[in-house]
Structure 1
Amino acid sequence: MAAEANLPSVNKAWVYAEYGKPADVLKLDPNMPLSQVEEDQVLIKVAAAALNPIDHLRLLGYFKDTDSALPTVPGYDIAGVVVKLGSQARKFKAGDEVYGTINEQGLINQKKVGSLAKYTAVEETLLAVKPKNLSFAEAASLPVAIETAYEGLERAQFSAGNVKFNAHLS
């Protein structure tokens, strides 16, 4: 695969090696090791990443017990281009534009390399083809926001014909 031959040996990423205010602890590391691609993963060249309140709380150390070993690259939401496939990855091909989240279980088993890197490895099941009518930035802004909205609708038991709240329009 031609794209694999052009991959760098190191990765540029925003990294934190201690917990604290993001402005104090988040540093650009131009020599982070490139993520190893597991058999069910694809390597993404990141075009856009979104940050959410959870990322801020992670940097502050609220999830130390489940965080990956430091130093760590934060970020969950991602959009980019597939550049390498794991041996069992079949959903995408190199060159596909994708978006999604990098961690299926949220705060459990957090990845060492999140979306704030030039390249990151992601399970292909967590990704979808980026709609052509969305920019990379627009696509990267969706995953956690959509998941949060969906969970809210589930908790409210909101469904067609089963509206449990009143909307008041002024």
Structure 2
Amino acid sequence: MKAWVYGEYGNASNVLKLDSNGTVPQVKEDQVLIKVVAASINPVDAKRMLGSQVKRLKVGDEVYGDINEKALDHRKRYGSLAEYTAVEESLLALKPKNLSFAEAASLPLVIETAHEGLERTGFSAGKSILVLGGAGKHVFGASTVAATSSTSKLELLKSLGADLAIDYTKENFEDLPEKFDVVYDAVDSGYRQVNAFCPSKNNDCQRAASKF
């Protein structure tokens, strides 16, 4: 099989090599063999073979997940940048039917990071949120969702549920009169912009930033 491999540290463009003579992994008792359909930071795969201890999934299920979670406990010869990879069942979930493989491939680590950030701020139903550089969706029952983007993505923000879509190429969003309970910085734009919206009306604005 074909797989991207590396044998030394360095820039990915220099050390990653395409190996056309890779060996299809042998599954352990708690693993499934995955035929990789799409990959990004996270794998999205179609399952081909089951280990003897796999109970929740069946052959043919379309799955996705973060196969590098707890990497030291689940060491692998191949990751998701190979035609096949062996993955522990506990690291996989059934792919939602309404998502393509490419869409699902981009989600696991992103969802985990965003959800953890919101939890750390104590975000809950009824609170307002400003998302810097992100598509605002009505998560956790937010009272108000505002999000910033470039001009080309404004309609996407609105379609995903943003109450206020801000074009940062045309508007100085630091001058907006609104204050928010939570500011989520998805692009690491720094506290200069974040501070413009803090404190909120209850003087307790929470900040969260995501990095990959």
State the TM-score, normalizing by the size of structure 1.
0.70
Distance in 2 (CA, whole Å) between partners of 1:39 and 1:162 is 46
Q: In 2, Cα distance between the equivalents of 1:88 and 1:108?
A: 17
Question: Which residue in 1 is equivalent to 2:49?
Answer: 84
The gaps in structure 2 that reach 5 residues or longer are 129-179, 184-196, 198-212
Could you report, residue by residue, the CA deviation over 1:7-41 in whole angstroms, capped at 9, with x for unpaired residues? xxxx3110111111111111101112222211111
> In the alignment, what sits opposite 1:66?
none
Cα deviation for residue 159 of structure 1 reads: 2.7
Task: Please give the alpha-carbon distance, in whole angstroms, between the structure 2 residues aligned to 1:85 and 1:49.
Answer: 21
Q: Deviations over 1:125-164 (max 9, x none)?
A: 2111111211100011100101111121122122335778
Could you say if the C-alpha distance between residues 97 and 38 of structure 1 is closer, same or farther in structure 2, counting changes exceeding 3 Å?
same
* Distance in 1 of aligned mates of 2:122 and 2:59: 40
For this pair of structures, how many residues does the alignment match? Answer: 133
* Alignment match, 2:33: 43
Q: Which runs of 5 or more structure 1 residues have no equivalent in the other structure?
A: 1-10, 52-76
On the 8 A contact 2:34/2:86 being kept in 1, the answer is yes
For 2:91 and 2:40, how far apart are their aligned partners in 1? 16
In the alignment, the residues of structure 1 paired with residue 16 and residue 48 of structure 2 have an alpha-carbon distance, to the nearest angstrom, of 26
Q: In percent, how many aligned pairs have the same letter?
A: 62
Aligned counterpart in structure 2 of residue 143 of structure 1, from 98, 105, 108: 108
Q: CA RMSD in A?
A: 2.2
**CA distance in structure 2 between the partners assigned to 1:166 and 1:89 by the alignment:** 41
- Secondary structure at the residue paired with 1:138? helix
- What is the aligned partner in structure 2 of residue 155 from structure 1? 120
Aligned to 1:165: 181
Tell which structure's C-alpha radius of gyration is larger. Answer: 2
Q: Aligned to 1:32, which of 4, 11, 22? A: 22
- AA at the equivalent of 1:165: D
Instruction: Give secondary structure in 2 for the equivalent of 1:125.
Output: helix
Structure 2 distance, partners of 1:98, 1:47, is 10
Tell me the distance in 2 between the aligned counterparts of 1:106 and 1:79: 17
Aligned partners of 1:135, 1:38: CA distance in 2, in Å?
28
Deviations 1:50-78 (A, max 9, x none): 13xxxxxxxxxxxxxxxxxxxxxxxxx11
Amino acid at match of 1:156: T
1:165 Cα shift? 2.4
Of structures 1 and 2, the one with the larger relative CO (CA 8 A, separation 6+) is 1
**TM-score, length of structure 2 as denominator length:** 0.57
Secondary structure of 2:110's partner? helix
